[in-house]
């Protein structure tokens, strides 16, 4: 069973097998996007790959970017010459997801010395049960992707033949950060303040830092609404967040915002409106 799934992921499936899965595609739930990073996403499913067709989507992402579980399920490690360090996620829906070319470097210098092991490639033990949005691995260039960090991602409804992941990735919920559900966190957010009022601030965020232990990570720009309690620190030059009237700023203001410590929920990870609470917002040069 393992060998057949491995061959299914790394080689192509014939077009007749692809079309036979049409009825199963409805089993794929709405996903959490598989990376927390600025991502170059386009539809390259089915592109020629030698004598075969591309069985997944390649996404260009920075080396070491956090890779997350797209739905709750169980993970299984794998390794091959072409795919390098890989991970299977067996989702609760019955869909199997395959992550390929994961990190095998001990340093950013592409040393290929790390192997395919926990804390280098994988963020969780082999066989672990994970929640949607939980970190499971790190992006890399193992296998035949050497020197070109990217994630190859596949979707197999019912554990069968691959289908085009593009439609699911386009409508997936984009995480601001990744963490185990229930763990404590706070965030640093950088971007532009675009509106204040009614106890909230709205930012266009392009960089995120997860505490504890994170570093600043560039993400695709997105709007994030933070709750602004009366005791939060808002620089006077930024306006009055406690105003009863919502006010859009004529000119966005570059800012850094920091959130209060709270426990991780799925809503917090995807940055749902009003879930994150600001502790301070300050202008930056």
pLDDT digits (tens, 9 = 90+) for 26-35: 589 999 999 9
pLDDT digits (tens, 9 = 90+) for 197-250: 878 899 999 999 999 988 999 999 999 999 988 877 676 667 655 554 456 777
Phi, psi of 193 (to 5 degrees): -75, 125
Q: Does the predicted TM-score (pTM) go above 0.75?
A: yes
- The answer to whether the Cα torsion of 244, 193, 65, 11 is positive or negative is positive
Q: How confident is the model at residue 20 (pLDDT cuts 50, 70, 90)?
A: very low
| Interval 261-278 mean pLDDT | 95
What's the pLDDT at 22?
A: 36
3-state secondary structure of 264: coil
| Interval 156-160 mean pLDDT | 95
- The answer to whether the Cα torsion of 268, 272, 276, 281 is positive or negative is positive
What's the pLDDT at 246?
A: 55
Residue 171 has pLDDT above 90, yes or no: yes
What's the pLDDT at 64?
A: 93
The end-to-end CA distance of the chain, in Å, is 57
Identify which of 108, 277, 91, 285 has the alpha carbon closest to the alpha carbon of residue 201: 277
Residue 118 has pLDDT above 90, yes or no: yes
DSSP, res 125:
-
Task: List, as one string, the DSSP characters of 52-114.
Answer: EE--SEEEE--TT-EEE-SSSEEEEEEEETTTEEEEEEEETTS-EEEEEEE---SSTTT---S
Identify which of 253, 242, 259, 260 has the alpha carbon closest to the alpha carbon of residue 283: 253
pLDDT digits (tens, 9 = 90+) for 125-147: 999 999 999 999 999 999 999 99
What's the pLDDT at 1?
A: 37
| Interval 116-132 mean pLDDT | 97
Name the average pLDDT for the chain. Answer: 87
């Amino acid at each position: 069973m393992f060998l057949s799934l491995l061959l299914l992921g790394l080689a192509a499936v014939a077009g007749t097998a692809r079309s036979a899965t049409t009825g199963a595609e409805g089993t794929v739930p709405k996903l959490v996007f598989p990376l927390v990073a600025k991502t170059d996403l386009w539809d390259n499913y089915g592109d020629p790959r030698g004598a075969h067709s591309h069985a997944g989507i390649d996404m260009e992402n920075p080396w070491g970017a956090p890779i997350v579980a797209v739905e709750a399920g169980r993970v299984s490690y794998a390794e091959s010459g072409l795919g390098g360090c890989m991970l299977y996620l067996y989702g609760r829906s019955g869909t199997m997801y395959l992550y390929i070319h994961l990190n095998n470097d001990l340093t950013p210098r592409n040393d290929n010395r790390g192997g395919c092991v926990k804390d280098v490639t994988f963020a969780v033990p082999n066989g672990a049960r994970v929640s949607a949005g939980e970190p499971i691995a790190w992006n890399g260039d193992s296998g035949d992707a050497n020197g070109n960090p990217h994630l190859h991602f596949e979707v197999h409804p019912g554990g069968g033949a691959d289908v085009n992941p593009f439609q699911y990735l386009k409508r997936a919920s984009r995480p601001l950060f990744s963490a185990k559900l229930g763990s404590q966190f706070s965030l640093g957010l950088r971007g532009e303040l675009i509106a204040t009022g009614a106890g909230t601030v709205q930012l266009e965020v392009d960089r995120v830092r997860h505490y504890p232990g994170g570093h600043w990570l560039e993400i695709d720009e997105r709007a994030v609404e933070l709750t602004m309690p009366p005791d939060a620190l808002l620089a006077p030059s930024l306006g009055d967040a406690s105003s009863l009237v919502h006010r859009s700023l004529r000119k966005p203001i570059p800012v850094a915002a920091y959130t209060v410590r709270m426990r991780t929920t799925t809503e917090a990870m995807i940055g749902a409106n009003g879930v994150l609470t600001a502790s301070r917002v300050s202008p930056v040069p």
